[in-house]
Amino acid sequence: MTTATGSAPAPLLRRILLQGKYEAATMLRNGEQLILAVVLPLLALIGLTVTPLLDGMGDSRVNIAVPGILALCAMSTAFTGQGIATGFDRRYGVLRFLSTTPLGRAGLIAGKILAVLAVLVIQLVIVAAVAFPLGWRPDPLGVLPGLCLLVLGAAAFTALGLLVAGTVRPEATLAITNLLWILLGALGGIVIPMQRLPELAQNTVHLLPSGSLGEGLRDAFLHGAVNGNAVLVLLMWTVLAGAAAIRWFKWN
């Protein structure tokens, strides 16, 4: 074997990009993750456009449905998908091993965020490709704020997913993130707009990351408006969950 001298790390940016690429590829190769990230949101989109669930809300079914589907995509990938993957990586010692390489803990987290964003871009392209033929016409003024809000929502859900994955057993992470995906997706103001929920729920849902992301995206893509409240609530969740994850995340 050759003599060991002069080992050095690859540049920081390259390490993070590599990890992001590796994690994104791992997510896209995993069948269950693909169902969660692509198949279920598309089924929900088609379901909402062929049923009268969203009728009488002042716009076409598909225009009201798509922002919620995008919010659902963000929750699938950032919260449930990344949460489960991280939980099991933690169980198998993968997080600990990678944190001894030049990647380190910070690089590992950065790579995970990058992977979430990469998968989100793919979801966005697929949802758009299905939604345009169905008649989706977003407000042009709302596209940029909408995409920014989607990234902020992904950040909040990633922080929450890592918080769950880093504090409980992976089996519990699996149960919690899947259950919340269903509950928040259906009743948390994501695919079903807030005004269609019971009055009691309306008062709390706009404080949830799900409700604020769903409503914020609908305001952007339907009316070209920036929902300041939604931005504030999502920022608050990102900061609180991020700080809690940093404080309580157990690496082993």
Q: Does 247 bind other proteins (CB under 8 A)?
A: no
* 166 touches other proteins (CB under 8 A): no
CA 159 – CA 175 distance, rounded (Å): 17
Q: How far is CA 180 from the centre of its chain?
A: 13
Structure tokens that stand for 178 in this block: 């899947």
d(CA 180, CA 209): 12
Measured from the CB atom, the residue of 90 and 218 that comes closer to other proteins is 90
CA atoms within 13 A on the CB side of 124: 15
81 binds other proteins (CB under 8 A): no
From candidates 102, 122, 231, 249, binder to other proteins by CB under 8 A = 102
Tokens for 6, please give them.
């002069």
d(CA 186, CA 181): 8
Please identify, among the stretches 100-108, 177-185, 196-204, 215-223, the one whose residues bind other proteins according to the rule CB under 8 A.
Answer: 100-108
User: Binding string to other proteins for residues 16 to 55, with x set by CB under 8 A, is what?
Assistant: --x---x---x--xx-------------------------
CB contact at 8 A, 65 and 59: no
Among 50, 51, 93, 183, binds other proteins (CB under 8 A): 93
Binding-site size for other proteins (CB under 8 A) equals: 35
CB of 26 to other proteins, least distance (A): 7
Least Cβ distance, residue 34 to other proteins (angstroms): 13
51 class by beta-carbon count within 10 Å (0-12 exposed, 13-18 middle, 19+ buried): exposed
Q: Quick check: 14 binds other proteins (CB under 8 A)?
A: yes
Residue 99 engages other proteins in binding (rule: CB under 8 A): yes
Question: Distance (Å, rounded) from C-alpha 201 to C-alpha 51?
Answer: 23
10: tokens are: 């690859």
DSSP, res 86: H
Rounded Cα distance, 237 and 28, in Å: 27
**Minimum distance from CB of 176 to other proteins (Å)?**
21
Of 51-59, 64-72, 87-95, 179-187, the window that binds other proteins (rule: CB under 8 A) is: 87-95
Q: Whole-number minimum distance, CB 3 to other proteins, in Å?
A: 5
User: Of 16 and 78, which CB lies nearer to other proteins in the complex structure?
Assistant: 16
Which of 87, 107, 216, 242 contacts other proteins by CB under 8 A?
A: 107
- Residues 36, 48, 68, 92: which binds other proteins (CB under 8 A)? 92
Contacts for 198 with CB less than 8 Å, ≥ 6 apart: none
Vertex 22: Cα angle to 19 and 26 (nearest 5): 135
Catalog residues that contact other proteins under the rule CB under 8 A.
1-10, 12, 14-15, 18, 22, 26, 29-30, 88-89, 92-94, 96-104, 107, 251-252
